[in-house]
Amino acid sequence: MKSLTRRALVLAAGTAAAAGLAIPALADSPSGPDPLTSGLQLAAATPASGKVAETKAALRDLWMGHIFWVRGVVFATLAKNGPAATAAEQAVVGNAKDIGAAIAPFYGQPAADKLFSLLAGHYGAIKEYLEAAVKKDAAAESKATDHLTANAQAIAAFLSGANPNLPKDTLEELLLAHGGHHLQQIQEVQAGQYEKEAATWSAMKGHIYVIADALTDALAKQFPEKF
């Protein structure tokens, strides 16, 4: 099993790979294509259309909602603001349902339900890590990290199994880095490192657009008749 702590947290901490993922455009660097995004450029090779642009905007909004509301849970929990944390968590769950529903027109309701379940597991692992961080329980943090890693692998397997234009290994790396951003954010907010968290938040936004855009382009390539 790939270690999310060793791989994704390093990415989220500001390595060259993380910097490459933190931009919406999948552009090649002077030294060549980013190894984590080059595989998804195959899916991006789809004709532009109004429907593609509309879907891309919708999926960007949904995935941005995911990181926005999880961030809300993190800040509220660490500030010991129970009502705010509860409200943010309800929004996280509602957003996950909406993300699942977005694939129903392509793959059916069972697939939508499965994606919701996987996203619930993703959030569950983040919350598990957050609660462990509050208790300063390193062993529990490690266990939560393992759960987040396994969940990233499961989501990558599900999405790549549904759409051949989404390479499993590339998706897994993207999702591991995404999970790493969440953990990095928790650590920085807990330590009161708000300037660092602001930089992490900026990277998270760019990175989530990479994921959302790749999903849209893969759908457009697999279902051209719907676009």
Residue 25, pLDDT score: 28
- 92: closest CA among 117, 55, 120? 120
- The helix-helix angle for 168-190 and 138-162 (nearest 10°) equals 150
Residue 37, pLDDT score: 44
- Provide φ and ψ at 29, rounded to 5°: -85, 165
Residue 48, pLDDT score: 61
pLDDT tens-digit readout, 59-69: 999 999 999 99
Residue 26, pLDDT score: 26
pLDDT tens-digit readout, 177-187: 999 999 999 99
pLDDT tens, position by position, for the chain (227 residues)? 455 544 444 344 333 233 333 322 222 333 333 434 444 544 444 456 799 999 999 999 999 999 999 999 999 999 999 999 999 999 999 999 999 999 999 999 999 999 999 999 999 999 999 999 999 999 999 999 999 999 999 999 999 999 999 999 999 999 999 999 999 999 999 999 999 999 999 999 999 999 999 999 999 999 999 99
CA-based Rg of the chain, rounded to a whole angstrom? 17
Q: CA 27, CA 38: separation in Å to the nearest integer?
A: 9
Is 100 in contact with 119 (CB distance < 8 Å)? yes
Q: CA 220, CA 31: separation in Å to the nearest integer?
A: 29
